[in-house]
Amino acid sequence: MPKITIRYQQVRDAKRLFEILMNPNFLYFHASAKSVQDEREWLKKNPQKRKDNFEWNYAVLYGDKLVGAVGIKINQHRKYIGEIGYFLDEAYWGKGITTKAVALLEKEAFKKIGLRRIEILMRPENKASEKVAVKNSYQKEGLLKKYIKERDGKMYDCLIYSKVL
């Protein structure tokens, strides 16, 4: 099995990330990019987001192939808390890649970024995302009612899992 690693996203990743994000089978992760150029513009902002300690975004590599992304948004009111998000090319689902990528990101978040608490939020029906949290020893804290606003404009419940240092 190829090695799973993460690295900072680069502008040259735009085409591949956009290709992955446009998968119609992504039911719980929605990108706002409408084109590869939109994705490039979004990626160009990553260095400033890191500098501002707002968001840290990484490419997920399976061997030398870019297969997805993981990132962590920093709570701007409580800068010791971050929320992890991720997506993976459907061709690589079910191989433990996201679980490993989250573990790698978590190390960065606790050691390099200095977080004390990490949260993972997911819709209750997103069993794959819940497995990622459980396999990484995150603890289920509860159900947040009408917490996530989706593209359809509706509000949805979500589960919250966390890990504290």
Determine the pLDDT at residue 30. 67
Contacts by 18-25, CB closer than 8 A, 24 or more apart: 20/67, 20/68, 20/69, 20/87, 20/88, 20/89, 21/87, 23/89, 23/90, 25/90
Query: Is residue 130, in this structure, part of any structural domain at all?
Result: no
32: containing domain? 4-120
Which CATH number covers residue 57?
3.40.630.30
Query: Is residue 76, in this structure, part of any structural domain at all?
Result: yes
Query: Sign of torsion, CA 109 113 115 118?
Result: negative
Query: Is residue 151, in this structure, part of any structural domain at all?
Result: no
Query: Is residue 68, in this structure, part of any structural domain at all?
Result: yes
Query: Is residue 43, in this structure, part of any structural domain at all?
Result: yes
The domain total for the chain is 1
- In tens digits, the chain (165 residues) has pLDDT values of 789 999 999 999 999 999 999 888 877 766 777 899 999 999 999 999 999 999 999 999 999 999 999 999 999 999 999 999 999 999 999 999 999 999 999 999 999 999 999 999 999 999 999 999 999 999 999 999 999 888 788 999 999 999 999
Query: Is residue 163, in this structure, part of any structural domain at all?
Result: no
Query: Is residue 105, in this structure, part of any structural domain at all?
Result: yes
Query: Is residue 131, in this structure, part of any structural domain at all?
Result: no
